[in-house]
Structure 1
Amino acid sequence: MRVLFVCLGNICRSPSAEGVFRAHLARSGLADRVEIDSCGVGDWHVGKGPDPRALEAARRRGIDISSLRARQLAPSDYQAFDYILAMDHDNLAAIQQGRPTDCRAHIGLFLEFAGEHDRAVPDPYYGGEQGFEEVLDLIEAASEGLIEELRQRLSHL
């Protein structure tokens, strides 16, 4: 099973989601059965590490995302991943725009897995530290729901 988290530039929300979800996978015992990655719909930050504020917020929760590097969503991602999860509606629209007709991946908002079917993970880039904490809280909640769905799907394989 493969999961891809997508935001705008891949330096705040999606690398945070990758790090938090990796920690949740390890605690759930599913780490060896699920691969995860993150990317952005834009190419502004390709090759750069996460925003220092995202690094610090994740570190305070015991999560190290310092080795992650930004990359842009690629056409091959539509075939490589089972879940392509957007952080907000603009990201989702960009993903849907590039979606090939033969794509079988579940494409949607990450917060669907927290029971928030129309809510976005807000972009904390232009805000203060509290915005990064809010992002992590939302990611934590959605991660639990996604773990449960993956556990159910994997039990049928």
Structure 2
Amino acid sequence: MVAVLFVCMGNICRSPMAEGTFRDAVKSNGLEAQFMIDSAGTTGYHAGEAPDPRARETSKKNGIDIGGQRSRKVTQSDFEEFDYILAMDEDNMSDLFSHCPQEHQHKITLFLSHAPHLPINEMPDPYYGHDRGFDMCFNAAVDASDGLLNLIKKEQSL
């Protein structure tokens, strides 16, 4: 079982969309039984909440339902339990590194580093912006999910 965790600040916009697009990529490849996929936030401000309505709507119009997800904060056990931990931006990656034991820090990367053809390295936070920001994040998440899945398939011989 390959465990993958997507992380943003509040776990209501970017990481839920990343989780949804990655789940879709895994399903399209017939690999659902080989993955555990989740998302979390570096803060617990929205713990227990569903993703932002704009994130749900953007995902839904693209054929992915993320409405069943619930926000949670990253826990210390996540660093041991997950094989791949994908941060949406440098701030969240820095926060993850500051809490992660040294022996697990190799698991943490920027999510968009798995889509090197994109002109950005960090997933912009669409929370305070317009709906177009959610569309851009969703599309970037699709590209990064494909790149990440290809990497995992190679590394894990799937």
- In structure 2, the residue corresponding to 1:23 is in which secondary structure? helix
Question: Which residue of 2 is the match for residue 64 of structure 1?
Answer: 65
Paired with 2:96 and 2:119, the residues of 1 have a C-alpha distance of: 17
Instruction: Say which is worse superposed, 68-77 or 117-126, in terms of deviation.
Output: 117-126
- What is the TM-score when the length of structure 1 is the normalising length? 0.95
- What whole-Å deviation, never above 9, does each CA across 1:34-59 have from its counterpart, x for those lacking one? 11100000010000000000000000
- Could you say which structure has the higher helix fraction? 2
Measure how far apart 1:29 and its partner are.
Answer: 1.7
Counting matched residue pairs gives 156
Aligned pairs for 1:69-80 (under 5 A) are: 69-80=70-81
RMSD across aligned positions (CA): 1.5
Question: Which residue of 1 is the match for residue 133 of structure 2?
Answer: 131
- What whole-Å deviation, never above 9, does each CA across 1:67-121 have from its counterpart, x for those lacking one? 0000000000000000110000100000000011232651110011101597100
Measure how far apart 1:154 and its partner are.
Answer: 2.2
Contact 2:8/2:88 (8 A) holds in 1? yes
Paired with 2:83 and 2:153, the residues of 1 have a C-alpha distance of: 14
Paired with 1:32 and 1:105, the residues of 2 have a C-alpha distance of: 25
Paired with 1:59 and 1:76, the residues of 2 have a C-alpha distance of: 31
Aligned pairs for 1:71-150 (under 5 A) are: 71-103=72-104, 105-115=106-116, 119-150=121-152
Paired with 2:129 and 2:103, the residues of 1 have a C-alpha distance of: 39
Contact 1:20/1:143 (8 A) holds in 2? yes
Paired with 2:137 and 2:51, the residues of 1 have a C-alpha distance of: 14
CA change 1:99–1:118 in 2 (3 A) is farther
CA change 1:117–1:73 in 2 (3 A) is farther
Measure how far apart 1:27 and its partner are.
Answer: 0.3
Contact 1:84/1:105 (8 A) holds in 2? no
Paired with 1:92 and 1:38, the residues of 2 have a C-alpha distance of: 14
Contact 2:97/2:105 (8 A) holds in 1? no
